[in-house]
Amino acid sequence: MTQLIDGKKISAEIKEELKEKVAQLRAAGKEVTLAVIQVGNDPASTVYVGNKKKACEFIGIRSLAYELPEETTEKELLDLITELNQRADVNGILVQLPLPKHIDEDKVIKGIDPAKDVDGFHPQSVGALCIGQPGFLSCTPAGIIQLLKRSGIEIAGKQCVVIGRSNIVGKPMSLLLLRENGTVTVAHSKTQNLKEITKRADILVVAIGKPKFLTADYVKEGAVVIDVGIHRDTQNKLCGDVDFESVAPLCSAITPVPGGVGPMTIAMLMNNCVESVL
């Protein structure tokens, strides 16, 4: 029987644990505050920002919303970040991506104080992960590690294949699996004989950004498959990078879309916010 990895349930557990921690911190006189900056009104970003605010409310994290107009200049945004970096009552700073084209995202990410970088995108956070030092972890890959651990799936010694090498998913994912003692292979668009590589995987993480790309012929029987993708299919239904119907029967465990990796990203963002105070 294929185990369905329930991201909704696991993220709810994590949020309950965090709620308790925040209450303890409050009792000790410590408040957790996240500043969320959105530039422009991209509809998807508005939904993500709204969900982050709701999660903060549930856990007891104070959120400060900065909704800036599309015409905001790079300098104005960087000045706001500098001000938030200096404020002792702000623990975490999140700038919702993507930013309008006239703003350099790399500059903005680098502008955030690494001690408040709850998205884990600052080069210092990424560097710390690379050399095994403490630092904020990128939320989606950190959520995947939690999904595996809390579903009783061993990583140590396993053949782990990550398809995708983006800075926010593929690269940090491979580093985290390595940190958990997996044997890691990273595949990308220039990889040759992809099927041969993915068929060796005990744990296969798919972050390719192509709807239902991964079909049964890429998967070894008994593999654990983690689907990071989020898309709308031709019937406007949510689907992932994995063709769930054909792949699920082969797997020992798999994440669904929706209800798999998606809910974990916000849970881990909340976790980073709480850690920023500890």
The answer to whether the beta carbons of residues 78 and 111 sit under 8 Å apart is yes
- 80 or 227: whose CB is closer to ligand NAP? 227
**Residue closest to ligand NAP, measured at CB:** 166
Residue bearing tokens 């080069």: 123
The dihedral sign for the CA sequence 140, 174, 167, 163: negative
Least distance (Å) between residue 264 CB and ligand NAP: 7
What residues from 31 to 60 belong to the interface with ligand NAP (CB under 6 A)? none
- 75 or 101: whose CB is closer to ligand NAP? 101
What Rg, from alpha-carbon coordinates, does the chain have?
19
Question: What does the DSSP assignment read for 225-237?
Answer: EEE---EE-TTS-
Give the x/- contact pattern for ligand NAP in 240-269, rule: CB under 6 A.
Answer: -x-------------------xx--x----
Least distance (Å) between residue 229 CB and ligand NAP: 4
Tell me the C-alpha to C-alpha distance, in Å, between residue 148 and each of 68, 92, 142, 167, 254: 38, 26, 10, 21, 10
What residues from 195 to 234 belong to the interface with ligand NAP (CB under 6 A)? 207-209, 228-230
- 61 or 197: whose CB is closer to ligand NAP? 197
Annotated active-site positions, please? 52, 96, 119
Residue bearing tokens 């703003």: 103
How does 131-161 read in b/e, with b if 16+ C-beta sit within 10 Å?
eeeebbbbbbbbbbbbbbebbebebeebbbb
Least distance (Å) between residue 170 CB and ligand NAP: 5
Give the x/- contact pattern for ligand NAP in 161-190, rule: CB under 6 A.
Answer: --xxxx-xxx----------------xxxx
- 119 or 275: whose CB is closer to ligand NAP? 119
What residues from 102 to 161 belong to the interface with ligand NAP (CB under 6 A)? 140
- 191 or 252: whose CB is closer to ligand NAP? 191
Backbone φ and ψ for 241, nearest 5 degrees, come out as: -80, -10
What 3-state DSSP class applies to 193? coil
Burial of 51 (0-12, 13-18, 19+ CB in 10 A): middle
Least distance (Å) between residue 167 CB and ligand NAP: 8
Cis amide bond preceding 258, omega within 30: yes
Least distance (Å) between residue 270 CB and ligand NAP: 13
What 3-state DSSP class applies to 39? strand
The answer to whether the beta carbons of residues 10 and 264 sit under 8 Å apart is yes
Told to check if 191 binds ligand NAP by CB under 6 A, we report yes
Chain residues binding ligand NAP by CB under 6 A are 140, 163-166, 168-170, 187-191, 194, 207-209, 228-230, 241, 261-262, 265
